[in-house]
Structure 1
Amino acid sequence: MPQIVIENLFNLKINSVSVPRKVIEIIHENGIDWMHACGKKGRCTTCKIILKSGEENLSPPTKPELDFLQQGRLRAGERLACQTELLSGEIVVRVGNINKFPHIKYSE
């Protein structure tokens, strides 16, 4: 079953009923706040996910992601949640320190 595990939200598990779907949409539909300053348009990096495992279960990087990688605004192992689709299987991600909300309690 397609699943997202958010490691530093106490290993919160989100099961996705249907895929392919954008990671941020799955997260938001499950009532979890996730930053997205540009309105999920791939114009910033505030929605980035730090991918710990499951890269093979995601869509290939999009042009905005490749551009941000080239500019150094994304690093290897980081993806934009608004651009990345979960295709199958499980992914394990983390929220970056700079992208954490003050009203949410995170685990480490």
Structure 2
Amino acid sequence: MPQIVIENLFNLRINSSSVHRKVIEIIHENGIDWMHACGKKGRCTTCKIILKTGEENLSPPTKPELDFLKQGRLRRGERLACQAYLPTGEIVVRVGEINKFPHIDYSE
């Protein structure tokens, strides 16, 4: 069963009964506010996740992600939540400082 742990949201664990879903869809379906300025189209980097563990549980990087890596707008260990699919397994992620919402309390 796919599971997302958001480390700096007090290790919030999100389980999904459906497989092969975009990370951002799983997060939003569970009532968590997650930034996305381009409408989840892979055209910006506002939905970026900082991947701590579980890279092997995600789909391979998409063309937009590879392009952002080349441009320096994404770093190794960062993925776009709107592009990465979580077919199975667990990932542990963090919200980047620049992508935090002011109305949400984050942990360290």
Q: TM-score range by the shorter chain?
A: over 0.9
* Counterpart residue number, 2:34: 34
TM-score normalised by length of structure 2: 0.99
Q: Distance in 2 between matches of 1:63 and 1:75?
A: 15
- Note the 1:1-108 alignment, pairs <5 A: 1-108=1-108
1:14-36 alpha-carbon deviations (Å, 9 max, x no partner):
00101100000000000000000
Paired residue total: 108
Residues in 2 aligned to 1:58 and 1:19: alpha-carbon distance in whole angstroms: 11
SS in structure 1 opposite 2:5?
strand
What is the percentage of aligned positions where both structures have the same residue?
89
Per-residue deviation, residues 21-54 of structure 1 (Å, max 9, x unmatched): 0000000000000000000000000000000000
**TM superposition score normalised by structure 1:** 0.99
Q: Deviations over 1:45-99 (max 9, x none)?
A: 0000000000000000000000000000000000000000001100000000000
Q: Structure 2: which 5+ residue stretches go unaligned?
A: none
**Runs of 4+ deviating beyond 4 Å:** none
Q: Describe the SS at the equivalent of 1:5.
A: strand
